[in-house]
Amino acid sequence: MEGLEWKKISAKRFGIKESMIPPEAWNVLHRLRSRGYDVYLVGGCVRDLIMKKTPKDFDIITTADLRQVKDTFLGSAVIVGRRFPICHVHENNSIVEVSSFNTCARGSSGSQIYNSKSQNCSKNDFVRWKNCQRRDFTINGLMFNPYSEKIYDYLGGIEDIKKAKVRTVIPAGTSFQEDCARILRAIRIAARLGFSFPKETAYYVRTLACSVARLDKARILMEMNYMLAYGSAEASLRLLWRFGLLEHLLPFQAAYFSSTRFKRKDKGTNMLLVLFSKLDNFLAPNRPCHNSLWISLLAFHEALARKPCDPLIVATFALAFYLGGDMSLAVDIGKSINRQHDTGFRELLEPKVWTDKHLAGEVQSFAALMKQALTEMTDEYHVANAMAKIPQAPSSDLVFIPLQAYLKVLKFIECVQYGKKERGHEPKRDGMINYHNLSNGTHAEIRNLFTLVVFDTLYPTDTEDENDCSS
């Protein structure tokens, strides 16, 4: 612990400005500080500010205990969690997470007690250092006092940011066995930042990959949503495949990679990765989508992987999806498309000439196949069968997609399958994305972005306007 005073760095060195912190976080910081408590921003938001990236959220740690935090925000704060309780403070339709140094102190073994004679640091340094020791990765073990504009780094987190490494605070094997959810967080962070793992961390991510199947399904869904809904889905899928996690979590997609002989470290691409790359173009950590969108894309691609289609059938399906099941209008628009599709995908057949009736019938047949794929993705028996088809894959019947999301996507598909337009549905006309509605799963937003992603995949264009679907 020697030389801790050298771990205090001016935030100005990284160009961090007051305006980079949202009003909701400032409100919580100001209220707690006005009551005499010390407050810090902590974790991933500090890392992202240093890297000039937009944080997904802003977490705060304070010297107040959680009861005092709750009393400070009467009626707008609730304490959640058992093992590691925190306080959710509701501010302007957003949630600011507040943790307490005191909670960590109560949860510790008591083996490390501050003694000014034995520790070469101040008591405040010791409290901050001890809290950082409980973090998952060094790059998440940073604290920032926005009032003194000082960043505290006791773990070498800034050095690992410079090296672009995701390194565990304690030895990786111990860390991942202590909490296997850290394996998924490691993948998520590496994918989002474009970081790699030190050899030891990489070894244990791969070796302990099977342990993630023991996690609570809600926790798996949360981590997968962070990977696929916040703008780094393509990189996440690549890393999940590379380190042997995809077959545990998304076995149908792992079977697809396996059947196409897509190597674990392959830098090439395929239609599944392109779909999620196009989705990433529209999303960001502060502009996520609802999970029903990425589930729709998984089922859509699985249907195509099982039975390749004429690109006109695929495009018309996407249009019918967007229009809420209005098949006749979808066919009219679809047959007017005169753009060249991407011929590099094995899922797309050579185009044919279709009558309106036959085209509508093929689109409905594709919708039925997508419905089957979705149902099997959420059925333990079929998941277990899919795992059996993957070379060297362990047996598993893990399903983490919740019933509510399944039913939502099913409704989208059945509108097309039965050619029955969703009552009250009005397609978006302005081409703009309402990200608040998108994250909440509003039907019009999900239908709109699904179709934009499919068209961007089918008909690649050099234009920089990602919002232009042309048709």
Report whether 209 contacts 244 (CB < 8 A): yes
Catalytic residue among 48, 125, 136, 160: 136
Spatial contact of 139 and 166, defined as CB atoms under 8 Å apart: yes
CA-wise closest residue to 32 among 58, 59, 71: 71
Positive/negative CA dihedral, 288, 216, 45, 209: negative
What totals of helices (H) and strands (E) does the chain contain, helices first? 22, 8
What is the helix (H) or strand (E) element at residue 80, kind and residue range?
A: strand 77-80
How far apart (Å, rounded) are the C-alpha atoms in residues 75 and 72? 9
Helices (DSSP H) in 208-283: which residue ranges?
217-228, 233-242, 246-249, 251-259, 271-280
Tokens matching residue 261: 């002989």
**Who's near 321: CB < 8 A, 6+ residues apart?**
412, 413, 415, 416, 447, 450, 451, 454
Of the residues 48, 59, 160, 310, only one is catalytic, namely 59
Looking at residue 122, the DSSP 8-state letter turns out to be -
- Rounded Cα distance between 21 and 40, Å, is 12
Eight-state DSSP code of residue 310:
-
Question: 216 and 277 in contact (C-beta within 8 Å)?
Answer: no
Alpha carbons within 13 angstroms on the beta-carbon side of residue 398 total 26
Contact criterion met (CB below 8 Å) for 291 and 221: yes
Closest among 137, 249, 256, 258 to 204, alpha carbons compared: 137
237, with CB counted inside 10 A (0-12, 13-18, 19+), is buried
Strands 94-100 vs 86-91: parallel, antiparallel or unpaired = antiparallel
Active site residue 71: no
59 among known catalytic residues: yes
* Separation of CA 39 from chain center: 28
Tokens of residue 221, six digits: 């869904």
Residues belonging to the active site: 57, 59, 136
